[in-house]
């Protein structure tokens, strides 16, 4: 999965400065970080609706949209996907319950 996400992140990064008429990604990036965040939010809501309706096929497509728009948002924010993957890696083996308890002190 990371390979597909890494390839897609590289494609999105390469679209920075490309012709917005030729690339949807470039057109989205040209609109700025706030617009990219808005699109990510819209796609997340669509995924939520599919999940709430028990629409597994719909959720599969919406989840792909969410991942694509998250990668666009990261690119627009100059946050490398590698940093996100590293953060996930450091959490490996730590239960969410344990992490939450540690945060509360
Ligand atoms: N994975 C995706 C991907 N997933 C979703 N989308 C687009 O995201 C948009 C979201 O759908 P919406 O209906 O919400 O958007 P819209 O109403 O068409 O557009 P807005 O005016 O609201 O922004 C659609 O236009 C989808 O085609 C994607 N566009 C591109 N990619 C990947 O990005 C690569 C580069 O794409 P380009 O930059 O277009 O060359 C492609 O080869 C794909 O691998």
ipTM attached to this prediction:
0.91
Q: What is the CATH number of domain 2-104?
A: 1.10.287.1080
Task: Report the nearest atom of ligand 1 relative to the CA of 24.
Answer: 39
pTM above 0.95, yes or no: no
Instruction: Report domain extents, the chain.
Output: 2-104
Residue 93, pLDDT score: 86
Q: Position of tokens 């996907």?
A: 81
Q: ∠ at Cα 73 (71, 14), nearest 5°?
A: 60
What is the per-residue pLDDT across 7-66, written as a single tens digit (0 to 9) for each? 999 999 999 989 999 999 999 999 999 999 999 999 999 999 999 999 999 999 999 999
72 CA distance to ligand 1 middle (Å) = 10
Neighbours of 83 (CB within 10 A): 10
| Cβ contact 81:5 at 8 Å | yes
Cβ(40) – ligand 1 distance below 6 Å = no
Cβ(25) – ligand 1 distance below 6 Å = yes
Residue 1: pLDDT above 80?
A: no
Q: Which 3 state secondary structure label does DSSP give 92?
A: coil
Residue 91: pLDDT above 80?
A: yes
What is the per-residue pLDDT across 60-88, written as a single tens digit (0 to 9) for each? 999 999 999 999 999 999 999 999 999 99
27 CA distance to ligand 1 middle (Å) = 10
Cβ(68) – ligand 1 distance below 6 Å = yes
Confidence of residue 98 (pLDDT cuts 50, 70, 90): confident
Residue 103, pLDDT score: 79
């Amino acid at each position: 999965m990371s390979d597909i996400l890494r390839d897609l992140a590289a494609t999105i990064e390469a679209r920075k400065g490309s012709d917005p008429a030729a690339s949807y990604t470039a057109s989205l990036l040209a609109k700025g970080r706030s617009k990219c965040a808005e699109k990510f939010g819209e796609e997340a809501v669509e995924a939520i609706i599919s999940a709430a309706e028990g629409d597994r096929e719909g959720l599969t497509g919406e989840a792909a949209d969410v991942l694509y728009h998250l990668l666009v948002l990261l690119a627009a924010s100059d946050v490398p996907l590698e940093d996100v993957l590293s953060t996930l890696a450091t959490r490996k083996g730590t239960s969410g319950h344990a992490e939450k308890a540690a945060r509360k002190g």
